[in-house]
Amino acid sequence: MIDLNLKILHLETKAYDIELLNTALSNSALKFEKFNVASKEELVNWLDNNTADIIISDWDMLSFTALDVLAILKARKQIVPFILVVSPEDENFAANAIKEGFADYLTRDRMQRLPFAILNAIEKFKLEKGRYQNFSSKLTTESLLTKTEKMTKSGTLEIDLLTNARKWSPGVDAILGFKDGEAEQSYETFINCLHPDDTDRVRREVDYAIKNLDKIDIEFRIITPEGIIKYIHSKLLFDADQLGRNYRASGFIRDITDNKIAELKLLEANKELNSLFNTIDEVFFLRDMVQSKLIQISPACEKMYGYTQDEFLGDPDIWSKIMHPEDIHIQQSNLLKHNAGEIVFSHYRVIHRVNGVRWAESKIIPSLDENGKLVRLYGVTRDITERKQLEQSQQQSEQRLRELLDNSTDIISVTNINGEIIFTSENVKHILGYDKGQYSKVLFDKGFVHPSELRAHQQTFRAVLENPGQVYSFSYRLKHANGNWVWFEGTIKNLLNLPAVNGIVANYRDISERKEAEHQIDVNRAGVQEWLLKRSSILNALPPQIALLDENGSIVDVNESWKKFGKQNGLQLNDYGIGSNYIAISDSANGGDELEGRNIAEGIKQVISGEKMQFSMEYPCHSPTHKNWFQVLVSPLTEKNNKGAVVLHNNITERKIAENKLSQSEQRYRHIVETAQEGIWVIDENLVTIFVNKKMCDMLEYPASEIIGKHNYDFKDDSQKQPTIERVSKRVRGVVETHESIFTTKSGKSIVCNVSTNGIFGVDNEFIGTLAMVTDITDRKAHEDALKKSEANLSAIIENTTDLVYSLNKDLQFITYNERFKTTIEHVYGFKVSIGGSALALLSGLPPKIAKKWKTVYHSALAGRTLSFVNEYPNGNEKVYLSYSVNPIWKTGEVIGLSCFSRDITQQKTNEVKLVTSEANLRSVFETTDLYTILFNSDLKVVSFNKNAAENALKYFGKKIKTGTSGFDFFPKSRWSAILQTLEKVKNRETVSYEVVYDLKGGRKEWFEAKWAGVFNAKKKMEGVILTLNLITEKKLAELERARITADLIRRNQDLEQFTYIVSHNLRVPVANIMGLSQLLGFEESVSTDFTTTLNALSGSINQLDNVINDLNLILEVSKQVVEKKETIVFARLIEEINIEIQSMLQKNKVVLSCNFSYIGQIFSIKPYVYSIFQNLIVNSIKYRRDDLDPLITIQTLVNDNKICISFEDNGKGIDLNRSGSQVFGLYKRFDFSVEGKGMGLFMVKKQVENLGGTICVQSQIGQGTKFLIELPL
């Protein structure tokens, strides 16, 4: 007995049914107390005083029905499990009544299910009651839940899957965009809120989950009444009944819009980060130090090291190949720092797979775990090779500069604004005798600068401070460490405003020897003047105006030229100024002569006083009609008893005019020279440089002062000295030539130059030097070398092509060519092509018109144009066609040469003629096809169409098709959107086909099959679209008729099944009554023999009819079970279950069951079907065994073409397939009547296999056993 005391309320008015229920309860193992109620009043009275555990009721009890009882219970809020008892013919009705709230139903012929139904209903009730109480508890905390839902943007809901009724919390209303209680809580409300793009998917996934799953977790979008799109996450759990059918769902929905937007932004950021990660030149990496494994590295590793990402991630020892052996200690030292958690910056060398040794800079950040153990390294590495090379070059440059400064004859010093030494060159020691420390001190000693120049020195220093960037020249005497005065001249410039200098830079050199020479010249000049004064006849004969002054500056004598000039210019002084003070006259000059007069007066004073040995100045003396210039020269007059000066005024107008013209000419020349893009280099007859322009200095990286005075070959490799001298010797003979030469710059870099030289000859045609125009062609040579290297790689291809291939540099010189070009040119034109040879030389041998055309082609290509053209040549009675292609070769945005091709396309031209003929044929097909064909351009403008399209456009659409009209004119506006979508697919190289129907005038419909295909050019750009329309109205009408017939057959089949069902169920009660009546008649004792015989015959017929009805119900049940839930079925376990069920049969008949499921051991299918198939075939093999052999049954599985094959083979009697093969699987077909059976087994097996989507066949011979082969889908 089951330990459960049940209080059962039975509502029934029929005594037979009451007894039927009592019998079923008595035969069960339930403990119960049963109460009978027959009217509504009794029911209400009983419910007022009692509580039932379960209610069992008939449907109709004359004065009230089961629905009335259910209504009473609901009104009283009494939740009690309610089981309905009905007649078998009312089973469908009862099944629908479950939706009203009944827990279960029973038919009176299956009362044996009553105990199970009671227990299942009570268990279901307990679950419902628990959920109801839980829900009630939730309602008491509704305020808290509402706040929580608002905070989390969530809501709860419950769905009755049988009635489709829904209940949800206010949070759901808020999510859907409604106020609390504003919207009806229904399926339609929810569906209407779904985003149109998500509606079908959500319906599909929910329907599938309800039928097959125990929960659903889904994301979708909704649109609120305000038009706001939200992202929603929902999770529902399903409750199932005892048959495994889901009848309720409960769960939550949550607004995840903010999270979704953040995810999308994060995804976009990740895309940008990945893009940056994949394109940046720096190498980012992540290394797991626990596993000693590289986890990630950016694609820049291939550029940095020459190894790909896959190679880094796949080879743990790759760093041993990359790290420079001499820098491995750096990595080891860094590891110690990483273990201590220190961020490390380091420079080291690596070995690039292709480019050799490179410098790298790394920043590596360690990550330690909670125990301080190093677990990961995050790093970034960049290539700093160019920076390292620049640093080394800069260090070398600084060292060279320092050596130049220290060994130069010039002293360079830098002082601050206070005049304190910041820097001075080391050569101050051997030039002035001071070391650098002494020089810093003595520079501020007033005695360091000669007293005569001290004032000028101070004035110059003040001017320098006041005028930054202005260069001032000076000439002073400075005191040597040995006490002697030494003359220096130089320049000084204020560079305090330049942060890199921040000082006043002075550059000066010792000119003592030059000063001594000048002094000696002055002494000699004074001797000449004395000699002139003593010889007045000679003095008067001199053209300059000469006056002799005494020591006070008064004129004591003048020559004839002075007097003549005075007369001509109206001199207002008596006796031509003799006796007048010339210094005073000059000092008092005014107007435009004021400055010159004061300068002359000051100069005379300095000469007379001995401060200067000579004074000279040029000054203008213009008249209203003429411009005149004079030079005044003042020299001291020293005699034994007389002191004074000789003043000489010389008319230099002609010289000045000539000088101005020469200056202007020189300025123009110098501007041309200094702005020329070529270097200009002039050497004298001894190969000594006398002039270089700025461009030449920039090319050699030397100032002009370091080039002038040196030989040309001093700036070349030693091996170039003799060839240079030999070339210059040709200049002597007047030879003009152009050659390439390699110079070495100041930084040690080699530059390749194109040098054009010409000899310079004097008035007597004597050789006096060489003029060279120098062009830096280093980059061009590099381009040519790169071009040659590239062409070397293509040489094999070029030499094996039938084309004529050659390339030229910018000067139209041959760089490379294939053998076919060389032999063809030599054969046709008699010209021998050579590397470096000029293409212009080849053109000079061609007719002028052709040569001119090719020159134009080459110049256009050098300007960046790609030229292609075809020339036609006669060849007997036929023609030969040659195509030409001249293409610029680009390098960093500059054309560095030309690549040229020529090909014989005579055959191609012939093929084109054939193609035209072929196109004509194609056009003929185009016009004769049944299809309506239209060609559109990419804007859907009509380009072409066939005759069929033209005729039927007017017929079907009432519009005449014309070239240039829009294709949209022929489509209804309702289809424009679909047409645009189709065009997008066609642009993606997709061919689109579909069927479309058009409503024509008169109520007719025409169906067309439309096909769209793109027309693409060689660059895969869509040039147009082809639309073909095929009239399929007849075909479509046939399909519709076929669909109508199919639907009619399905309906008739359903009617037949319904008829079969009605027959099978409606006959059960009459048959049962007849069987009962025949049994009662059988109990009669006084009956005749004929009556007994007739009764037995009637009983046999009735039993046979009952078996047929039962079999029919079984067949219908098989058809219904196909909707049952599928599950994974393990064959070995299935065999174990069957063994247990038929264990006695197996043991009794000594059956050997051999199974091999090694190929596949399970299947996802409907278990009752598979179980029945296996059981029927095993039992059949046992039933139809041979008497002389113990039964051996072999079951195997295989997989073939995505199907599982199951074979059942036995050693039994076998079947005569020749006689009965077509009836093996027939209903009630039996072939061995020695064994009891009905002929249902194999019929049921075949039906179940087919319901699973499979097939079954049989192989058998009499006396040798039978083999069944089953194929089921995986």
Residues 996 and 1085 both lie in one domain: no
Q: How far is CA 1144 from the centre of its chain?
A: 72
From the list 101, 92, 148, the residue with the least C-alpha distance to 128 is 101
pLDDT of residue 1032: 87
Q: Where are the beta strands (DSSP E) in 777-912?
A: 804-809, 814-817, 867-875, 878-891, 894-904
Centre a 10 Å sphere on the Cβ of residue 106 and count the other Cβ atoms it contains.
22
Residues 856 and 904 both lie in one domain: yes
pLDDT of residue 223: 94
Helix/strand/coil for 802: coil
Is residue 730 within a helix (H) or strand (E), and if so which, with residue range?
Answer: helix 721-732
Are 167 and 250 in contact by the 8 Å Cβ rule? The answer is: no
pLDDT of residue 1105: 62
CA distance 86 to 66: 11
**Residue 930 vs residue 1111, higher pLDDT:** 930
Q: Quick: pLDDT tens for 161-199.
A: 888 888 888 888 889 999 877 888 888 888 899 999 999
φ/ψ of 262, rounded to 5, equals -65, -40
Residues 643 and 548 both lie in one domain: yes
pLDDT > 90: percent of the chain? 17
Q: Quick: pLDDT tens for 454-494.
A: 888 888 888 888 888 888 888 888 888 888 898 988 889 88
From the list 1235, 1239, 1260, the residue with the least C-alpha distance to 1182 is 1235
- Domain end among 236, 262, 288: 262
- Residue 1078 reports pLDDT greater than 70: no
* 1007 found inside a domain: yes
Q: How many domains does the chain have?
A: 10
* 24 found inside a domain: yes
Is residue 932 within a helix (H) or strand (E), and if so which, with residue range?
Answer: strand 932-937
pLDDT of residue 3: 45
Q: In what order do the strands lie in the sheet with 942-945?
A: 942-945, 932-937, 1022-1031, 1005-1016, 992-999
Confidence label for 675 from pLDDT (cuts 50, 70 and 90): low
Of 617-621, 983-987, 1121-1125, which gets the smallest average pLDDT? 1121-1125
- Residue 532 reports pLDDT greater than 70: no
- Residue 137 reports pLDDT greater than 70: no
Residues 207 and 320 both lie in one domain: no
pLDDT of residue 135: 47
pLDDT of residue 1123: 47
Confidence label for 736 from pLDDT (cuts 50, 70 and 90): confident
**699: amino acid identity, one letter:** M
Residues 170 and 36 both lie in one domain: no
Section 315-342 average pLDDT: 89
Task: Please give the structure tokens belonging to residue 90.
Answer: 């009312």
Residues 598 and 722 both lie in one domain: no
Residues 597 and 502 both lie in one domain: no
* 169 found inside a domain: yes
From the list 201, 609, 589, the residue with the least C-alpha distance to 191 is 201
Are 247 and 131 in contact by the 8 Å Cβ rule? The answer is: no
Section 904-918 average pLDDT: 69
CA distance 1048 to 1044: 6
Section 151-166 average pLDDT: 83
* 669 found inside a domain: no
Looking from the CA of 773 toward its CB, the CA atoms found within 13 Å total: 10
**pTM of structure:** 0.29
* 18 found inside a domain: yes
Q: Quick: pLDDT tens for 247-256.
A: 888 888 989 9
Q: Quick: pLDDT tens for 101-127.
A: 788 888 887 787 788 788 878 877 776
Residues 29 and 101 both lie in one domain: yes
- The DSSP output letter for 748 is S
Highest mean pLDDT (candidates 975-979, 1118-1122, 1172-1176): 1172-1176
Residues 617 and 687 both lie in one domain: no
* 903 found inside a domain: yes
Section 53-57 average pLDDT: 91
Contacts of 106 (CB under 8 A, 6+ apart): 83, 84, 85, 86, 113, 114, 117
Confidence label for 862 from pLDDT (cuts 50, 70 and 90): very high
- Domain end among 775, 793, 811: 775
Angle at 188 between CA 182 and CA 192, to 5 degrees: 80
Section 1086-1107 average pLDDT: 65
- Residue 784 reports pLDDT greater than 80: no
- Residue 140 reports pLDDT greater than 50: no
* 395 found inside a domain: no
Q: Quick: pLDDT tens for 304-326.
A: 899 998 999 888 888 888 999 99
Section 1134-1146 average pLDDT: 88
Q: What is the mean pLDDT of the chain?
A: 81
Confidence label for 1121 from pLDDT (cuts 50, 70 and 90): very low
- Domain end among 333, 361, 390: 390
- Structural domain of 18: 5-128
Residues 1130 and 1235 both lie in one domain: yes
Section 1199-1224 average pLDDT: 88
pLDDT of residue 950: 82
Query: b/e per residue, 861-884, with b = 16+ CB within 10 A?
Result: bbeeeebeeeeeeeeeeeeebebb
Residues 1057 and 1171 both lie in one domain: no
* 643 found inside a domain: yes
Residues 748 and 829 both lie in one domain: no
Q: Give the CATH number, domain containing residue 319.
A: 3.30.450.20
- Residue ranges in 500-635 assigned as alpha helix (H): 512-534, 536-541, 560-568, 582-587, 594-609
Of 150-164, 350-364, 1150-1164, which gets the smallest average pLDDT? 150-164
CA distance 742 to 778: 9
DSSP states along 1117-1178: HHHHGGGSPPEEEEHHHHHHHHHHHTHHHHHHTT-EEEEE-SS--EEEE-HHHHHHHHHHHH
